[in-house]
Structure 1
């Protein structure tokens, strides 16, 4: 028989024998296709799109197998075979062979390019023998087998039809749902979803070039559950064994599975060396948990865990850590921790209640102010001074929104007293309205009722009512937006309020004590916002743009009210910037409302490309004061700061440029005509290097507060190597605030990151500028399995703008 003949050319008895033989094999493939050379599925993944310039959060890069070579096993892969094993019982068998020998009435011998296909199964060999009496079969010589989830080549494949399995010698295998591949002395095909191998290797690297692999005495592949289980397993990297596991379970696809995650190593001068082995529990499709015991050589054992859930209408996450009997040494601050039980709790939840109403909560608490310093990872410890917790019922519709709940705060800065923590807002209710009256007029209101709680300072309740009428008249090239508002703020002070004054709020000596239990403030607020929009066609560097010219005038009138008898619960002066030119209040919160008789003049020009994308924006503006700024905040020495009689605000300028997708520049500058000094200057430059590199440079200056240079880079040396770096220098302190350097190596199946960091620990305001610390982290990523110390990528994405 030649391969071009139909199966009908075989005698009926021989066809039956071959059909019985093919029923032994399990797994998907497809018939009637000339196998074509193809890459493994993961090797054809498209490149990850670059993160847009200026984005603060870039998505992590998925595993990329683009550098892998075409898999040699896939040269006999037939992509046309069906992928449904359930079709086997009802499918015909397609047999091709050069010769058929039936001289032995019990054994039929097919030879010469034997090809046997049924449903998802395909067997090729130089020779196949089948025993009609015992249903044994034996395939020898260049054996190649394909099923829905796996490819296999062997010197020999034999089995039994009635037992529904086959055994292969000297095996090479490839999983089709992943890049998992390896060799084995012996392989056993149990059914369409299960197989077993002895003296086996497993890796996602190129066949024959395993930079990492698992070597095991026994390996079971469960394609139905997406899991591999190895016994007496050794992990090897560059052919060097580094980890032995008597039992090892790992994923063979992207489905969640219970099992141990990779260990994490770390260390700090405060807690010593840290080691942890997390265990993941895939409890159900909609909830899971992770248990993570950690050992700190200087403090003891921390029991940590995470629980996540997702139900109809609700989702949440609970994280908890507990250290019994801390045996570490106390740090230099005044809060003792040695011998104490220490803990951390974080809980967040969102639940839909009924109709437009939902409940959201976020609880964050620690046992003491030193916890985050002692147990934070040194590579990414951030200067968190306060932990906030909140719980709110909220709702909203087309013209309203409302909320009711509470906010609480905990001081977690070991260098600052608890008096610096903001007031608890317990409880707090808000109501917002935005009701259209007609197409150009609307009525709105911002309302808040809140009780402020804090130990050893004045406490009280506050009601803030802020109704307004706003109109919006506009055309294609102009707009006029008048707004008339009325603000009423009333207080009910608690307890012996007369003990406290402004300085008491700031921790100093009490001055000018409060003399009214129920002070209040009422005043109107009127504004008129107008502007014109001109545009024209222009070109720059050979590219066509639409240029706009947008003059804008904003007038604000707020009469003066003496507010010296009002407490300060949650109000501070906001930093002056371009948007403050058009703000009705320079203070956050409701405890102070600025007086104003101001006129802002501003001018903006933009360049828009043919797709409407803004490529350049330049703005310039200033406020003209027709009345002194009489409403001021108190300080530690006097009841209130002196009014300012400036007639002009700072000149404010902004410039943002992104003429293409390779680079971006943004800057801001403020100069005071009153002090004849620069109050603020910022410059930011971002430049993309290749497809996966980035360079950032920024300069930040605010008079009497900060002057820093900040530069960072991800430099692709080659397809495999990238250099990482960041340097932050404080001119005022004459020191390096942070320095980070690292290197990344990426290959077909392994990624390596080594990152070192030198940084300033949060400074004590009562001692010096702060201590420095050093940290080094090593991360080894085995693609398809996971990562050891898999935390540096998130750190780098936070520290280097545009990192992926």
Structure 2
């Protein structure tokens, strides 16, 4: 072999035929690896063991130092640098593998020509066809009449020719592209494909560009464009998104054509023009930004001359959060939060219940807050304003605007007081200016006032295994300066209210058995005493107080009202009892039963404006139960029971069955006597499971291809005998595409409802085509799971050659 010339990139050695190699040709059918001779091999190259197995050496630093290996049944050298290989030829170079019936290779130029049953595998991307021309050094070349498959997203296709521009870019001429699986031995006709005169695939940026392209579904063209871009992965990129189409009972036939702008790694925008047959054109947009010290999202929509309302319609929403480091030395920095929501008119929430700005509430918050913290101290300032969208059939009183709010708070845990450790000390100070507009004889006048608040608290908890005792004391001081209509009738008032409370409880445990299984059973009695003396608050303004919901948390609280304008005079004891069954192996809760009731020692005379004093000595009893005997099943229930009338004032019964992924059924029954009685049912269920045909879950592929799912949620009013809200439909997973049909009905008033039909096609590895039904399903169906979840990037080893 010392007589052979030393090539720059490839040397040939066929074991068992060294003499013939020295003459430059091999005619016998001998199989061997070709490699650089040991004397000429680079120190950084990958070598071979004597038995033909790979052995690892020092890594190479440059691409041109990579060795190339060849195996064939026969070989012939033609000249110093040109060789021909025939018979099950295999060429390997780093992450490149080429197989063919015949390979011609020029070692000097690194040009390679492969013919006959050619297969090329580039880092998991596979191409097959009759003829390949490739420079193994530059990765430039072409493939005649190939079929191809991309590893990252499973895309496949055909072409008259593929031009390899470099390692990361190729051009598919007169080709087709789809993520539908190719069935071996059959003519390739996927359910969906992009057919184009030219398709550029950039595997580094994960972007595909089709020129003169048409998107076909089941052989029917559904979208055509002279220039069409699409992603090769989930990486963000600029480009047109598929249109959204739905039929709405109010707005008519709607078509949206969104366009995504990937402005920078931390900035992007989406433009969403929408044509509504009954209204006109709506121009929507969303802009998102992310920086190390701040982040935010702005959404907006503008419709010039709405044909149904004969006026311009608009809406915007802006959320911004920022951390101002170094603003005040020695502290944690300033935190700024901004939230703005505005619409053009009171009917916007009804006409656009699913608008781009997602402003479906009738009360829109607008506020800005600034906060700073250092040790136990925190300082804050803010302004809060509301836009109330009124309905003549159902008007409501909006809350007061707070312009401004200034506060200083102190919280120190574990203080030592009078030689006793572990006392928690809190102090809250607050100044707020309340303001609200009222309509008086057609004129909008301002009413409100100022409130200065100081609340001090002191508490300590003594506890040991099996018991706890926690006393607490609070002093509530308030000063009011009230202003009448347009600054008239300026009055002042003040109030000081002390409160003391004592919370205590015991915990007993014992081992027990149910149905042959061991459990730990607990018995947990609790007693809570609170005392607040009476202070006349009838003439004080009420800016932010309201009745608290009746639940276990509020029954063990010191005040019957939320907010700070009403402090209930209360001398009462709350008694409660819980019992739980615990799994001793995992500690998980299997059963929880609880009840609580409050006993008033005196009347409660402080009320909200228009309210009446509480003279009953015994409150309603609250009973709650939760059972999860099996991980598949769970049941929850609460009962508010009036012992005087022997009736349940309010009850809730609920249950959920979750036997596995993509299988969930939830049901709830809620009744508030004299107010409402409703049944709520939600589900996501594969139809094949109804007759035992559903398969096991696949990573990122739900239950696999060819599966139908039923999804929905129904809220039904029993007294009215009608459906209030409805979301129901079907999903179909074909493997390479998903289809959804969803019917949606949302109640917008006591007599009106908005209805629409959503249709969506989602092509795996491409994009979604249709209305955003996913948002509707996720918002309405408890524990709904998307059929395509993110998984780790695919390994190249399943397609290793």
- TM-score, structure 1 as length reference: 0.83
User: CA offset at residue 600 of structure 1?
Assistant: 0.6
| Residue equivalent to 1:734 | 721
Distance 1:135 1:803 in 2: 55
Distance 1:199 1:87 in 2: 36
Q: Is the 8 A contact 1:184 1:199 kept in 2?
A: yes
Once the two structures are superposed, residues 745-772 of structure 1 have per-residue CA deviations (whole angstroms, 9 ceiling, x without a partner) of 11321111111123422x2xxxxx3213
| Residue equivalent to 1:680 | 650
Distance 2:54 2:740 in 1: 37
Distance 2:681 2:279 in 1: 36
Distance 1:367 1:377 in 2: 16
CA separation of 1:689 and 1:93: change in aligned 2, threshold 3 A = same
| Residue equivalent to 1:716 | 686
Q: Is the 8 A contact 1:754 1:779 kept in 2?
A: yes
| Residue equivalent to 1:775 | 756
Distance 1:589 1:11 in 2: 97
| Residue equivalent to 2:274 | 294
Once the two structures are superposed, residues 650-695 of structure 1 have per-residue CA deviations (whole angstroms, 9 ceiling, x without a partner) of 0111111222321111110011234443211111111114421111
Q: Provide the alpha-carbon RMSD of the alignment.
A: 3.1
| Residue equivalent to 1:751 | 738
User: CA offset at residue 232 of structure 1?
Assistant: 1.2
Q: 1:412 aligns with which of 377, 381, 389?
A: 389
User: CA offset at residue 622 of structure 1?
Assistant: 0.5
CA separation of 1:324 and 1:552: change in aligned 2, threshold 3 A = same
Q: Is the 8 A contact 2:318 2:340 kept in 1?
A: yes
User: CA offset at residue 313 of structure 1?
Assistant: 0.9
| Residue equivalent to 1:525 | 499
Distance 2:597 2:769 in 1: 54
| Residue equivalent to 1:97 | 72
SS of match in other structure, 2:236: coil
Corresponding position: 1:487 with 2:476: yes
| Residue equivalent to 1:784 | 765
CA separation of 1:11 and 1:157: change in aligned 2, threshold 3 A = farther
Q: 1:344 aligns with which of 315, 339, 348?
A: 315
| Residue equivalent to 2:461 | 472
User: CA offset at residue 573 of structure 1?
Assistant: 0.7
| Residue equivalent to 1:626 | 601
Task: Please say which of residues 84-93 and 175-184 is displaced more in the overlay.
Answer: 84-93
User: CA offset at residue 450 of structure 1?
Assistant: 1.1
Distance 2:398 2:19 in 1: 88
Q: Is the 8 A contact 2:250 2:754 kept in 1?
A: no
Q: Is the 8 A contact 2:139 2:167 kept in 1?
A: no
| Residue equivalent to 2:211 | 231
SS of match in other structure, 1:455: strand
Once the two structures are superposed, residues 576-602 of structure 1 have per-residue CA deviations (whole angstroms, 9 ceiling, x without a partner) of 122221011111111111110101110
User: CA offset at residue 375 of structure 1?
Assistant: 2.6
SS of match in other structure, 2:543: coil
Distance 2:225 2:14 in 1: 49
User: CA offset at residue 572 of structure 1?
Assistant: 1.1
| Residue equivalent to 2:578 | 604
| Residue equivalent to 1:442 | 424
Q: Is the 8 A contact 1:551 1:602 kept in 2?
A: yes
Distance 2:754 2:115 in 1: 65
Task: Please say which of residues 478-487 and 298-307 is displaced more in the overlay.
Answer: 298-307
Distance 1:147 1:757 in 2: 47
Task: Please say which of residues 310-319 and 203-212 is displaced more in the overlay.
Answer: 203-212
The number of aligned residues is 713
Q: 1:517-666 maps to which residues of 2 (within 5 A)?
A: 517-609=491-583, 610-635=585-610, 641-666=611-636
| Residue equivalent to 1:129 | 104
CA separation of 1:772 and 1:322: change in aligned 2, threshold 3 A = closer
User: CA offset at residue 571 of structure 1?
Assistant: 1.4
Distance 1:381 1:342 in 2: 15
Distance 2:516 2:651 in 1: 32
Distance 2:54 2:238 in 1: 32
User: CA offset at residue 378 of structure 1?
Assistant: 9.1
SS of match in other structure, 1:373: helix
| Residue equivalent to 1:245 | 225
Q: Is the 8 A contact 1:268 1:378 kept in 2?
A: no
Distance 2:727 2:48 in 1: 58
Corresponding position: 1:282 with 2:262: yes
| Residue equivalent to 1:377 | 354
User: CA offset at residue 363 of structure 1?
Assistant: 0.7
CA separation of 1:415 and 1:260: change in aligned 2, threshold 3 A = farther
Distance 2:363 2:548 in 1: 19
User: CA offset at residue 109 of structure 1?
Assistant: 1.9
Q: Is the 8 A contact 2:24 2:77 kept in 1?
A: no
- Flag the structure with higher strand content: 2
Distance 2:471 2:405 in 1: 31
Once the two structures are superposed, residues 445-488 of structure 1 have per-residue CA deviations (whole angstroms, 9 ceiling, x without a partner) of 23332111111263111122110110111111110000011111
| Residue equivalent to 1:52 | none
User: CA offset at residue 10 of structure 1?
Assistant: 4.7
Q: 1:260 aligns with which of 207, 230, 240?
A: 240
Distance 1:267 1:245 in 2: 24
| Residue equivalent to 2:698 | none
Corresponding position: 1:353 with 2:324: yes
| Residue equivalent to 2:435 | 453
Q: Is the 8 A contact 2:48 2:54 kept in 1?
A: no
CA separation of 1:580 and 1:5: change in aligned 2, threshold 3 A = farther
Q: 1:201 aligns with which of 157, 176, 182?
A: 176
Distance 2:137 2:151 in 1: 27
Q: Is the 8 A contact 1:379 1:795 kept in 2?
A: no
Q: Which runs of 5+ in 1 are unaligned?
A: 21-29, 34-77, 331-337, 500-514, 636-640, 764-768
Corresponding position: 1:423 with 2:400: yes
Distance 1:462 1:234 in 2: 66
Distance 1:453 1:11 in 2: 100
Distance 2:775 2:513 in 1: 41
Q: Is the 8 A contact 1:753 1:779 kept in 2?
A: yes
Distance 1:691 1:32 in 2: 48
Task: Please say which of residues 313-322 and 437-446 is displaced more in the overlay.
Answer: 437-446
SS of match in other structure, 1:453: strand
Q: 2:308 aligns with which of 306, 316, 329?
A: 329
| Residue equivalent to 1:800 | 781
Distance 2:601 2:482 in 1: 35
Distance 1:115 1:740 in 2: 57
User: CA offset at residue 80 of structure 1?
Assistant: 12
SS of match in other structure, 1:736: strand
SS of match in other structure, 2:305: coil
Q: Which runs of 5+ in 2 are unaligned?
A: 1-11, 27-33, 37-45, 184-188, 326-330, 439-445, 689-693, 695-706, 786-801
SS of match in other structure, 2:233: coil
Distance 1:14 1:257 in 2: 53
Corresponding position: 1:670 with 2:640: yes
Distance 2:144 2:471 in 1: 86
CA separation of 1:517 and 1:690: change in aligned 2, threshold 3 A = same
| Residue equivalent to 2:662 | 692
Distance 2:109 2:740 in 1: 57
Distance 1:519 1:740 in 2: 52
Distance 1:31 1:656 in 2: 67
CA separation of 1:711 and 1:5: change in aligned 2, threshold 3 A = farther
Distance 2:673 2:194 in 1: 59
| Residue equivalent to 1:46 | none
Task: Please say which of residues 748-757 and 381-390 is displaced more in the overlay.
Answer: 381-390
Once the two structures are superposed, residues 713-752 of structure 1 have per-residue CA deviations (whole angstroms, 9 ceiling, x without a partner) of 2221234111123221112333221233211111321111
